[in-house]
Homo-oligomer: A and B are copies of this chain.
Amino acid sequence: MAKLPVSVHPRVVIVGGGFAGTELAKKLSKASLQVVLIDKNNYYTFQPLLYQVATAGLNAPSIVYPYRKILEKGNDTFFRLAEVEAVDPVNRIIETSIGLVQYDYLVIATGATTNYYGNEQIEQHAIAMKSVEDALMLRNTIICNFEKALQVGDEEQLNSLMDFVIVGGGPTGVEIAGALSELRKHVFPKDYKELDFIKMDIHLIQSGDHLLKGMSHAASTEALQFLQEAGVQVWLNRRVKSFDGYTVLLDNGEKLITRTLIWAAGVTGAPIKGLDPACITSGNRLKVDVYNRVAGYENIFALGDIAEMITAENPDGYPMLAQPALQQGRLLGANLPKLIAGKPLKPFVYTDKGSLATIGRNKAVADVKIFNKEIRTQGYFAWLIWLFVHLFSIIGFKNRLLVFINWIWNYLSYDAVMRVIIGTKKENVPVEKVTDKVLV
């Protein structure tokens, strides 16, 4: 049994503590409701900076925050560390790894998972970029590759360790490619004097004909420009057909040799079992109305990446980004108490604050709205906007301070000092065993 205190208030169970779920939980913790937040981690993750954890610029603890700390002040607010397995809408019960939980209102904010488009071989060998564990695994793998590279003689082996292939030309892919090129330029040559970093190739593979789909033409062309100046090899209109942990096969038959394939090529919804198939879209998301109510249910809601809200004004739904999630969480936080009080609800209206992507030191692209003024800028000013926006989106003053100090430090020292191997790494095809006993 999942032990939870009995309450005089109706119980709202929120599944998933991403941008949407956390924002909602914070809002509702002040209302006269019993709030139960369930997540498989005990900490909130600020996903936009995962790539900096992966590239040794930040340490993981400074971009995460314990849920229990976030919800501390709520008197009838609870957190449970659990995986949700299924929902029984008729009896208003969810099945979790810690037992059954009764709900009056259920909010599904499970977000999206990495989409490998059914290719299990790629899923097995690639590294995704959705969680802190992913980011740390990538960091450990990158560093171990260079440590191993010091030991191999054979050129192809060397390339397989020193080359990196990133799949997906969205913000994550672009930002990782940029960060890797910075490490190649400023950090790794100091660490590995014996290696020739001319040999380190960074490939970015994008299925479409431009980067940063969804951003302005200026943004995508400038991003491409910046990456190419940084020596990143960008392949447009290409798809990865297979990856066995060593050879990447592209759709045009070309091959790339690498042990490290970073998969940032797309996400898909992850709905909970037990819901009426009629409410699930082709993209595995949940159809919701303008109040984020899941189609066909009175007391089940969906927020953020998992929710697909299609209206006349907005036939394609909203992008799977932080802003729609945050805004939907905030609105439902206001609507739920109204619903319970029998007051009319406010429909969702999306305020597009624009998007940003950084390509490393002093370089970013920005399509933003500031005081309702559309600003499209690339380069240094965009980079400052990026820094500002991200710094102030981090939860917890201390984390913000620590990230700020790290950024200043890394900027001035051209360094990324978090290059320590702690935890697991990806072991693809083993590096050629040491056979000869020749000494050098």
Contacts and interface: CB of A to CB of B under 8 A. Distances in A.
B434 A417 contact: no
A420 interface: yes
A136 interface: yes
B151 A440 contact: no
A80 B72 CA distance: 46
Contacts of A151: 1-3, 98-99
B4 A417 contact: no
Contacts of A405: 398, 401-402, 405
Contacts of A424: 423
A437 B150 contact: no
Interface string A406-440: 10010000010111111110000000001011111
Number of identical protomers: 2
Nearest to A144: B81
A214 interface: no
A133 interface: yes
Interface stretch (A63-71, A113-121, A254-262, A326-334): A63-71
A267 interface: no
Contacts of A398: 405-406, 409, 417
Contact of A4 (B66, B68, B423, B440): B440
Contacts of A43: 420-422
Interface centre among A102, A144, A417, A437, by most chain B C-beta atoms within 10 angstroms, is A417
Interface string A144-173: 100100110100000000000000000000
CB-CB nearest 7 A-B residue pairs: A59-B61, A43-B420, A68-B191, A81-B147, A99-B434, A102-B439, A1-B438
Contacts of A1: 151, 153, 434, 436-440
A49 B433 CA distance: 37
Question: Which of A78, A98, A396, A422 gathers the greatest number of chain B CB atoms within 10 Å?
Answer: A422
B66 A417 contact: yes
Contact of A418 (B61, B101, B132, B150): B61
A398 B412 CA distance: 12
A215 interface: no
A61 B153 CA distance: 33
B420 A100 contact: no
5 contacts: A1-B438, A2-B151, A69-B415, A93-B439, A99-B151
A60 interface: yes
A315 interface: no
A241 interface: no
Contacts of A69: 191, 415, 417, 419
Contacts of A2: 151, 434, 439-440
A424 B136 CA distance: 13
A423 B421 contact: no
Interface string A134-147: 00100000011001
A194 interface: yes
B150 A80 contact: yes
Contacts of A402: 402, 405
